[in-house]
Structure 1
């Protein structure tokens, strides 16, 4: 990896059922705007079908106090590992990053349900910061979804 490439990984414990959480990100991401309305404004399907690899999803969201957009392709789904990987193909993130992918993985560790977010990216240049605030955003959305299902 070059010095411009990076990877952030963070996990958060949830009380919600891991199957429900995975189902939301796989089949029902368009409902996240109801669960986290201050962060996710809308999520629309542009191509394909919900929950299928190759489908294109368009997000309107608020990050760092600014309205932003992202067009993502569902790159992979692993039912056994309960993970969904999204690759950003258009939008605000690509003004800072040459490439950007997000993976949401839900795991049960004994009594605990953990949601792990992995952000993989390549910065356009050295002055671009690592996406720590975006990781915080993902963790906050996770807690909003959990609160909605409490």
Structure 2
């Protein structure tokens, strides 16, 4: 059967939201420079960075384990500062039938909200919620923030 679910978290950051959105929409391959303990590589498998329909490969470490993901860039919405990726191959699909990850930047005055949404369908009823992945997204957000705050000094 499985469990369909959705987890959301919003992280407040102190760097400009446009920069954060640009990183995930057009320059995801730069994330490995900003969060090297989490993201090890990102490259284009098909298409090009910044284009919906492109397929991106990620190498990352989740909960101490080296993992891979091949993601279809489903949506890049400049107006709403949103990017949605659908996992089409990789380690997450060992536990989930479907998995989609959305990152959206929400301007809030002096700070910026980064909203991560994981939508998933577990393989069976014993499946777990992807809380470790949400923790991972928070850590990556903090690393990107720290990288940009360091550059601003």
Verify same fold: TM over 0.5.
yes
1:113 aligns to what?
112
CA deviation after TM superposition for structure 1 residue 3, in Å: 6.1
CA deviation after TM superposition for structure 1 residue 81, in Å: 0.5
Give the Cα separation in 1 of the matches to 2:6 and 2:109: 27
2:7 aligns to what?
8
CA deviation after TM superposition for structure 1 residue 128, in Å: 1.3
| TM-score between both structures, scaled by the size of structure 1 | 0.97
Deviations 1:3-59 (A, max 9, x none): 610000100001110000000000100010010000001001111111110000000
Q: Following superposition of structure 1 onto structure 2, how do residues 1-150 of structure 1 map, counting pairs within 5 Å?
A: 4-150=3-149
DSSP 3-state at the match of 2:20: helix
Q: Unaligned 5+ residue runs, structure 2?
A: none
Give the Cα separation in 2 of the matches to 1:85 and 1:64: 23
| TM-score between both structures, scaled by the size of structure 2 | 0.95
C-alpha RMSD of matched pairs (Å): 1.0
Give the Cα separation in 2 of the matches to 1:80 and 1:145: 22
Q: Which runs of 4+ in 1 moved over 2 A?
A: none
Give the Cα separation in 2 of the matches to 1:66 and 1:111: 36
Q: Unaligned 5+ residue runs, structure 1?
A: none
Deviations 1:47-89 (A, max 9, x none): 1111110000000000010000000000011111100000000
